[in-house]
Amino acid sequence: MGQVAIISTYLEKLDIEPDATRVYIELVKTGHTSALQLAKATTISRTQVYRHLEALQKHGLVSAEQLSYGTLYRPLPLDNIESLIANREAEAAAIRRNLGGMVQALQALAGGSGPKATVQHYYGRAGLKQVNWNLTKADKEFRVFEAARLSQHLDQAFARRCREQCIQRGLHTRDLTNALLSQYRHIDPDLLTITFEVYIYNDIVTMLDYQQSNEMAIEMHHPSFNKMMTQLFDAMWAVSMPLDIT
């Protein structure tokens, strides 16, 4: 991926359009120029160039100088977007703070008459990430029939974020695995072969299939089933072999 594509992909995450990035990069190359020259250099229509320049000015990436013969545009440092990032972080924090209230509002609309047992399906890599992130919402502790470590299934950056979130919330975990080098306890595969990842927490049981041909997860909100699976896990835990954390 070229440098322009890298920058464009990055700025697009901040809602800066790819063509606006092209205009900005052209300004960086020339140092200063007019909208007409930018339109010629980028092959973007003059009307659209003006629109992109206005957006870039709002983001603090372009300045406009009014001269007798017209308007001259200059690029401003890219690190000016720090304020934009800070705003995004503040917005995300506000959304997070209000999430509980929104959940209560929806429950009030439902009148508390919703089903006590539900099944939710998740598909693909994004779905697997979502159910793993849901695990960080466990109340104090979660149990795992572990097929393999999270970083072997999903990217290490996401696995690290999940781990940090668990640490931040002070969650305790108990893992049963057939692997000899893992955390907590090893269960003999002749006694129990773990082919699917299973999470047990709150009133939820989640089964995950990480095979690339069938990436999916089933998240079951069912108190009675959760209780049964908790009992099964604890029985297996009692006959498993303690392992050192490696």
The CATH number linked to 76 is 1.10.10.10
Both 142 and 63 in one domain: the answer is no
Both 207 and 154 in one domain: the answer is yes
77 DSSP 8-state letter = -
Both 129 and 225 in one domain: the answer is yes
Amino acid 112: pLDDT: 58
Both 57 and 142 in one domain: the answer is no
* Total of domains in the chain: 2
Residue 95 lies in a domain: no
Amino acid 100: pLDDT: 78
Amino acid 79: pLDDT: 81
Burial class, 199, CB count within 10 angstroms (exposed 0-12 / middle 13-18 / buried 19+): buried
Q: From residue 153, how far is each of 51, 197, 211, 246 by CA, in Å?
A: 43, 11, 9, 18
> What average pLDDT values come out for the chain (246 residues) when binned by 10 residues?
79 88 91 92 94 90 85 87 82 84 77 67 86 91 84 81 89 82 71 88 91 84 92 90 67
- Answer with the one of 82, 107, 129 that is the final residue of a domain: 82
Amino acid 19: pLDDT: 92
What tokens appear for 231 in the block? Answer: 């009992």
Q: What distance lies between CA 116 and its chain's CA centroid? A: 28
Residue 91 lies in a domain: no
Domain boundaries, position 37: 3-82
Amino acid 116: pLDDT: 62
Residue 139 lies in a domain: yes
Q: Tens digits of per-residue pLDDT, 55-82?
A: 998 888 899 888 888 889 998 888 888 8
Residue 75 lies in a domain: yes
Q: Which amino acid is at 178?
A: N
For residue 226, the domain's CATH number is: 3.30.870.10
Quote the pTM value. Answer: 0.57
Both 50 and 130 in one domain: the answer is no
What tokens appear for 57 in the block? Answer: 């000015």
Both 134 and 72 in one domain: the answer is no
Question: Got the DSSP string for 165-203?
Answer: HHHHTT-EEEEEES-SSSSSEE--TTT----SEEEEETT
Residue 168 lies in a domain: yes
Both 145 and 53 in one domain: the answer is no
Q: From residue 39, how far is each of 27, 66, 106, 173, 213 by CA, in Å?
A: 11, 18, 49, 58, 47
Residue 14 lies in a domain: yes
Both 206 and 122 in one domain: the answer is yes
3-state class of 30 per DSSP?
Answer: helix
Both 26 and 75 in one domain: the answer is yes
Residue 138 lies in a domain: yes
Amino acid 182: pLDDT: 46
Amino acid 85: pLDDT: 84
Percent of the chain topping pLDDT 70: 92
Amino acid 1: pLDDT: 58
Residue 144 lies in a domain: yes
